[in-house]
Structure 1
């Protein structure tokens, strides 16, 4: 009998997108089947969908190659999106002043589990 509690994980670090924008797209596919999530991400017009789709495809490949799981039985157990580093930039203003601009980066981790 196969062990059904296998959790497959894939992640990506230092993505040039804010966690807030990534969470909007991640909420579309959280706790959904992998096949449904792929279709949702393919037709989503946000840039963050491309980042999440790459990590999802990596997790699917890990499930197939490392554990021999069937793709049709997988669902997204967790999508974790966290803050990474922040770049500080100078933004010139009037009369010789300067303000600071922050450019945020993110981390993504996706965990897949087989439907029992």
Structure 2
């Protein structure tokens, strides 16, 4: 979500690496607070870089939106189309909206309707 202001810049390109990593977790001795985590990540090791995608210009990230997505869509529609949790779709929509790549076209109930520019 912090990358939003840069996605529309003509001199900015984005390279995304898909990686395989190993994560070592340790149990927490004493979880703090009401929602204290039982485990914490002790160490992460990069094993391999499996693939690389370059978006140049960065605005070509719109190609990640599926063709089956309706012209006006909500984050629930996006989550269903990409087969990911709604929280991921909300982060995608937030980033694309604040970078100016999609626009808010109205509301359906309490949900924003987004459209491609």
TM over 0.5: no
Higher relative contact order (CA 8 A, sep 6+): 1
Higher helix share: 1
Q: TM-score, normalised by structure 2?
A: 0.27
Q: TM-score, normalised by structure 1?
A: 0.27
